[in-house]
Chain A
Amino acid sequence: MAFDYDKYLRPGKLPHIWCPGCGHGIAMKGLIRAIDICGLDKNNTAIVSGIGCASRLPGYVDFNTLHTAHGRAAAFATGVKMAKPEMNVICVGGDGDGTAIGGNHFIHACRRNIDMTYVIFNNSIYGMTGGQFSPCTPTGAKASTTVYGNPDPTFDISKLAIGAGATFVARTTAFHATQIDKLIAEGIKHKGMAVIEVLDDCPTTYGRRNKFRSVVDMMKRLKDIAVPVAAASKMTAEQLEGKVLTGVLYKEEKPEYCEQYAQVIAKAQGA
């Protein structure tokens, strides 16, 4: 039987604002299936976002939802989780939101290893503001503020998350739709900071400027660059040139922030 997304969507809030061909819808459906796989209680789940196209997701889904200010999702979410650790807290947002203006909050949420799941929709561009370059825009690519080609080096979000201390890091793409739910579900189940990077596409503000003739071409690129980690271990550096590793990139068990703070409370109360 087909999956019943309606169970998790707010009645009357669709259609969404995303453009035709945008990968965010695929990622949102993956997130919903992941929540279903984990059996999360809607009443006990908060979905927090910043600003931007991906950050409009919370308006469509029937949970405790918080659409904040540009870049601040992880900081708001930290307050929610600390104050009510029994809640499942999921952050969603784009690459610009999460790693430029929100970079500081992102790395410190990773460092604390606070138990939340952060799904980053990486479409390599600021979509909502009209296609300015983000920290994830490839060097040389065109954006509305890099019409001569982007001079900036590019962030690898997953490596950034691992370096900052996240204890579960995974990556997939909007093409690999059936992998999205599995990786997010694994992230939700993981105790600690889980980052799931979903590479997707922005045909309107990125594809158009960078000579992708169609959405299909953009999807095909996602398919072609993705290399599962297991396969990558058997490949040479030359073969991996221009490729992106997908799957679970990093996982470790480490003390979680709210649990650590529970010990502070116990100590303060004389335990």
Chain B
Amino acid sequence: MAKKVALLQGNEACALGALYAGCKFFGGYPITPSTEVAEVMSVELPKVGGKFIQMEDEIAAMASVIGASLTGAKVLTATSGPGVSLKQELIGYACIAEVPCVIINVMRGGPSTGMPTGPGQSDVQQAKWGTHGDHAAIALVPASCQEIFSETVRAFNLAEKYRMPVQVLFDEIVGHSRERIEFPEPGDLEVIDRQGPTVPPEEYKPFDTSFGDVPPLAAFGTGYRFHVTGLNKAQDGFPTTKASLVDDEQRRQIRKVDAAQADIEKNEEYLTEDAEIVIFAYGSTSRSARYAVNELRKEGIKAGLFRPITLWPFPEKRVAALAKQAKAIIVPEMNLGQMVLEVERVAKGACEIGFLGRVDGEPINPGQIIDKVKEVK
């Protein structure tokens, strides 16, 4: 039987991906250019017995999804840069309390109100360093409508598997583009549920590391009475300031992601095998870059595309290898230099790094990338 297809906006595909993953709660606050995610969820969630709530502000939206997640529900919120800024304290809370949740950031221009209807890619470092304190981060950057669907599903899987917030960032161009999407049937994409406790309630500790770096998470209202706090805590979940326990907790929460890099990392490469010039691009910019690679190849220039789909944790090993192989890595992005810093960091001077930034609300077009490559070449 033919797969069900539709012509959808990226934002709409995101909401449908969340439903595919089993999302049962959406708490949000309207902000352009992410609003269609909330609008579709408000229509679709009650059909499957899920709950949609439009909260009084962005902070409340983030709080509500954390609260709902603790009852065992898969939860989503969707916003844009200024909204993520407001949510940051509680994203940190979800990190330290290890509460699974998915946060969509449809990136627009900034800082502050910036360009509400214009695209940007300038929240990519915010996704890693936005909240305070030391913590791990997972952020995904899909580049098409189809990929928004599947990466939203994957974001839920990673949130549930690693018990932490996961951000999905797409620029306004990807979020508002209408494209053909082919809907996966149930079972086509993997759907992961969080691991619950196997011990009886009286033995349960919410941060019991004898089960590994990702301890099982019980749900409120199921007989497992436990304490959740944003304070540093011992394995039983109660606050502690004991240096060794605080140190253990902090390091474990970073280690759980570091150790799982291979599972979390996802990249796409196009003609990189023999590439002398590698273009590192993500989101809508990667689509211009792919076009540029084809044009450059026609001219005999050995260009290739490296496209991170997982942006955080950063694909260090592969980018370092490409830096050794290539003469140059070019980083075009809709900001004035954010991921290029990471590329430079891991390249460690092994090749030339070229940067192309644009922050005028217009997409980076293939011609600009071609010109930049020739400049370096």
A binds B: yes
Q: How many A-B residue pairs have CB under 8 A?
A: 134
Q: A59 and B239 in contact (CB under 8 A), knowing A69-B89, A83-B71, A83-B73? A: yes
Contact between A80 and B220, CB atoms less than 8 A apart? yes
Q: Nearest CB to that of B61 among chain A residues?
A: A75
Say yes or no for A79: interface residue by CB 8 A criterion. yes
Say yes or no for B65: interface residue by CB 8 A criterion. yes
Among candidates A59, A77, A108, residue contacting B238 with C-beta atoms closer than 8 Å: A59
A42, B224: Cα distance in complex, Å: 10
Q: Nearest CB to that of B64 among chain A residues?
A: A79
Q: A42 and B225 in contact (CB under 8 A), knowing A59-B239, A78-B55? A: yes
Instruction: Tell me how far the C-beta of B87 lies from the nearest C-beta in chain A, rounded to whole angstroms.
Output: 11
Number of chain A residues close to chain B: CB under 8 A: 40
Q: By DSSP majority rule, is chain B's interface helix, strand, loop, or mixed?
A: mixed
Among candidates B25, B66, B239, residue contacting A76 with C-beta atoms closer than 8 Å: B66
Contact between A269 and B47, CB atoms less than 8 A apart? yes
Q: Nearest CB to that of B228 among chain A residues?
A: A66
Q: Restricting to A51-107, which residues have a CB under 8 Å from any CB of B?
A: 58-59, 62-69, 72, 75-84, 86-87, 104-105, 107
Residues of A with C-beta under 8 A to B226: 64-65
Instruction: Tell me how far the C-beta of B318 lies from the nearest C-beta in chain A, rounded to whole angstroms.
Output: 37
Contact between B64 and A82, CB atoms less than 8 A apart? yes
Q: Restricting to B29-52, which residues have a CB under 8 Å from any CB of A?
A: 43, 46-47, 49, 51
Contact between A72 and B228, CB atoms less than 8 A apart? no
Say yes or no for B24: interface residue by CB 8 A criterion. yes
Contact between A264 and B46, CB atoms less than 8 A apart? yes
Residues of A with C-beta under 8 A to B223: 43
Say yes or no for B68: interface residue by CB 8 A criterion. yes
Among candidates A66, A69, A86, A105, residue contacting B221 with C-beta atoms closer than 8 Å: A86
Say yes or no for A44: interface residue by CB 8 A criterion. yes
Residues of B with C-beta under 8 A to A63: 225
Among candidates A64, A77, A104, residue contacting B57 with C-beta atoms closer than 8 Å: A104
Residues of A with C-beta under 8 A to B71: 80, 83-84, 87
Contact between B64 and A75, CB atoms less than 8 A apart? yes
A87, B46: Cα distance in complex, Å: 19
A108, B89: Cα distance in complex, Å: 20
Q: Restricting to B46-87, which residues have a CB under 8 Å from any CB of A?
A: 46-47, 49, 51, 53, 55-57, 59-60, 63-73, 75
A80, B66: Cα distance in complex, Å: 8
Contact between B222 and A69, CB atoms less than 8 A apart? no
Residues of A with C-beta under 8 A to B63: 68-69, 72, 75-76, 78-79, 105
Residue-wise, chain B 225-247 has the 8 Å CB interface mask toward A (1 for contact) of: 11111110000001100000000
Residues of A with C-beta under 8 A to B366: none
Instruction: Tell me how far the C-beta of B83 lies from the nearest C-beta in chain A, rounded to whole angstroms.
Output: 14
Contact between A65 and B227, CB atoms less than 8 A apart? yes
Say yes or no for A216: interface residue by CB 8 A criterion. no
Instruction: Tell me how far the C-beta of B222 lies from the nearest C-beta in chain A, rounded to whole angstroms.
Output: 7
Q: Nearest CB to that of A258 among chain B residues?
A: B51
Contact between B90 and A108, CB atoms less than 8 A apart? no
Q: A78 and B60 in contact (CB under 8 A), knowing A68-B93, A267-B46? A: yes
Say yes or no for A265: interface residue by CB 8 A criterion. yes
A203, B239: Cα distance in complex, Å: 25
Residues of A with C-beta under 8 A to B228: 65-67
Among candidates B25, B90, B222, residue contacting A82 with C-beta atoms closer than 8 Å: B25
Residues of B with C-beta under 8 A to A81: 67
Say yes or no for A202: interface residue by CB 8 A criterion. no
Say yes or no for B120: interface residue by CB 8 A criterion. no
Q: A66-B67, A78-B67 are in contact. List 7 more A-B contacts (CB 8 A).
A: A10-B227, A46-B220, A72-B59, A75-B55, A87-B71, A107-B56, A268-B43
Chain A residues at the B interface, C-beta cutoff of 8 Å: 10, 13, 42-44, 46, 48, 58-59, 62-69, 72, 75-84, 86-87, 104-105, 107-108, 261, 264-265, 267-269
Shortest 3 CB-CB distances between A and B: which pairs?
A79-B67, A79-B64, A75-B63
5 A-B interface contacts by CB (under 8 A): A43-B225, A75-B56, A87-B71, A87-B220, A268-B47
